[in-house]
Amino acid sequence: MVLRLYDSLDGGLRDFEPLVPGEVGMYVCGPTVQSSPHIGHLRSALVYDLWRRWFGYRGYRVTLVRNVTDIDDKILGNARPAPAADGAQTAGEVWWALAYRYELEFTAAYTALGVQAPTYEPRATASVTQMQEIIARLIERGHAYPAPDGSGDVYFDTASWPGYGRLTRQAAADMVAAEDADPRGKRDPRDFALWKGRKDDEPESASWPSPWGPGRPGWHIECSAMSARYLGAQFDIHGGGLDLRFPHHENELAQSTAAGDAFARYWVHNGLVNVGGQKMSKSLGNSLYAADFLSMARPVVVRYYLAAAHYRSVLDYHDGALEEAEAALDRVETFLDRAARRLAGTRFAAERPGQVPDAFAAALDDDLSTPEAFAVLHDTVRAGNAALDDEDLDGAAERRAEVSAMTQILGIDPTSPEWRSRPDEPVRIALAALVERRIADRQSARAGRDFALADAIRAELAEAGITLEDSPTGTHWSIDAE
């Protein structure tokens, strides 16, 4: 089946045809490191991790670039000295130190979630020369202009580019004014800043020399420069959250194409995250920060939860969602453990290389439809359990191989070393000691032909949610996740 993806620019599903056969170049807008990451950042990073893994399984060599925006109005604002209670100014934090501190938080959250490191992760401050080169080209081509007020600002002339508004299907008359710079030097309120002249209240360390005066780049030009620097003037996929379509991605597309670059061939956007039916907002006090969210369940469970919904859908987090994900993942883990125990010592014991089922591949080929892919995963788990019940060891081994292949692609393989450390391990050890003591009591009762006591112990454990399974290799227990 041909791999298809939804192209936001085209407004529909398109067959994926790489610019270079066998290779995929993907640029994803990474974080602006102004504050701690939240659940929305986790979801976005995970979406493109899943795309990357699936392209890799399909035989492509993937180059994934995810940038770090480490210079920005909000970064500078958050780093400014804060007034103390007596009116004095506190020392504050240097802007680049604040940016790096939050960058480390993002990296830690991505790592905890099992998101693979990008091929390249450039910081915006390392590509200022490339940004200035694009700005100079735009001025030369008549699509940008220095502000006449001597501020050092440079703006993109939106009226000069007929394609402006193409990505978001907006007419110029319907667009809101760009609020990324002082409008005094603009020809049109919709014109956006390419270069921002240094202001007196900004630190000298946050400015660079330029032909238009000392200053720093605007937000949008950063991604145009970094994507071209690491992937070339044209590349396959540009990704990011749906909230970035306007103005950020619209402006990227306009300035890059106006400068003469073909830019991205496909635009992919992931849906946002709501909490209890409401958009996350600091004013509502419902923001779910990554560190807190990852502490609410095993990270592999968090990954399962975030991956199970279609990437373009709105994900609405609600109480109990992680418990549901835990129960679903437990069913996968229980089958793999059960299969490993039963197949031990047989000719089917060795792990065999597994191919994913055709239905699983078809689901991910169809715009990364993870809901359908997860349905295939659980269908295969049920089939594997049925094979074990029927003593069909060959069938059980085949299903185990398929389940392993699918969980590896989804990044939720419970046997992977990265997921073996569990925050609830002390509780599990204590529970295991108690349950195994009762199993030993049951075995003693059965050996003494006291079957009434043996049945009572089994019923006692079942009432506590513990399922016993007798097999030729002994009695094994699991927590009933149904």
**pLDDT 10s digits, 228-247:** 999 999 999 999 999 999 99
The answer to which of 115-129, 186-200, 343-357 has the lowest mean pLDDT is 343-357
pLDDT at residue 368 is higher than 60: yes
With a cut of 60, say whether residue 422 has pLDDT above it.
no
Listed range (26-30, 57-61, 85-89, 202-206) with the worst mean pLDDT: 85-89
Distance, in Å, from the CA atom of 309 to the CA atom of 373, rounded to the nearest integer, reads 10
Distance (Å, rounded) from C-alpha 383 to C-alpha 255? Answer: 53
For 90, 294, 410, the CA distances from 49, given in Å and listed in that order, are 41, 17, 9
Task: Over range 287-313, report the average pLDDT.
Answer: 95
In contact, 164 and 254? CB cutoff 8 Å: yes
Estimate to the nearest angstrom the gap between the alpha carbon of 208 and the chain centroid.
32
Arithmetic mean of pLDDT, 313-320: 94
Contact of 126 with 116, CB cutoff 8 Å: no
Q: Rounded to 5 degrees, what are φ and ψ at 314?
A: -80, 130
Read off the pLDDT band of 182 (50, 70, 90).
confident
More confident residue, 253 or 350: 253
Q: 451 pLDDT exceeds 90? A: no
Q: Please write the tens of the pLDDT for every residue from 379-417.
A: 999 999 999 999 999 999 999 999 999 999 999 999 898
pLDDT of residue 426 exceeding 90, the answer is no
d(CA 304, CA 168): 31
Decide: helix, strand or coil at residue 296: coil
pLDDT at residue 53 tops 80? yes
Question: 283 versus 97: which is more confidently predicted?
Answer: 97
- 67 vs 286 pLDDT, higher one: 67
Domains detected in the chain:
4-84+91-279 (3.40.50.620), 317-419 (1.20.120.640), 425-479 (no CATH)
Which pLDDT band, with edges at 50, 70 and 90, does 457 fall under? Answer: confident
Decide if pLDDT at 95 tops 80: yes
pLDDT greater than 60 at residue 350: yes
Mean pLDDT, rounded, for 417-437? 69
CA distance linking residue 374 with residue 307, whole number of Å: 9
Where does the pLDDT of residue 20 fall: very low under 50, low under 70, confident under 90, or very high at 90 and above? very high
- Find, among 70, 69, 64, the residue nearest to 115 by Cα: 64
Does residue 99 contact residue 45 with C-beta atoms inside 8 Å? Answer: no
**Closest alpha carbon to 295 in 106, 480, 45, 113:** 113
Distance between CA 468 and CA 34 in Å, rounded? Answer: 51
Q: Which letter, b or e, does each residue of 289-309 get, where b requires 16 or more Cβ atoms within 10 Å of its Cβ?
A: bbeebbeebbbbbbbbbbbbb
Could you tell me if 47 and 298 are in contact, meaning their C-beta atoms sit under 8 angstroms apart?
no
Please state, in angstroms and rounded to a whole number, the distance separating the CA atoms of residues 43 and 243: 13
Token pair of 123 as six digits: 């910081």
Residue 180 has a pLDDT of 83
For 347, other C-beta atoms within 10 Å of its C-beta total 9
Q: Where are the beta strands (DSSP E) in 297-363?
A: 315-317
The secondary element (H helix, E strand) that includes residue 23 is strand 23-28
pLDDT on residue 147? 94
What is the model's pLDDT at position 80? Answer: 75
d(CA 79, CA 95): 5
Give the span between the Cα atoms of 149 and 153, in whole angstroms: 9
**Side chain identity at residue 466, one-letter code:** I
Return mean pLDDT, the chain: 91
**Strand (E) or helix (H) holding 105:** helix 95-112
| Mean pLDDT of the 101-111 span | 97
* Cα within 13 Å of Cα(220), Cβ side: 26
3-state helix, strand, coil in the chain (%, to 5): 45, 15, 35
Span 280-287, average pLDDT:
74
- What is the mean pLDDT of the segment spanning 134-148? 97
Residue 181: per-residue pLDDT: 79
| pLDDT, position 480 | 64
Rounded to whole angstroms, how far apart are CA atoms 259 and 252? 11
Q: Rounded mean pLDDT of 209-226?
A: 97
As a whole-number percent, the residues of the chain with pLDDT over 70 amount to 93
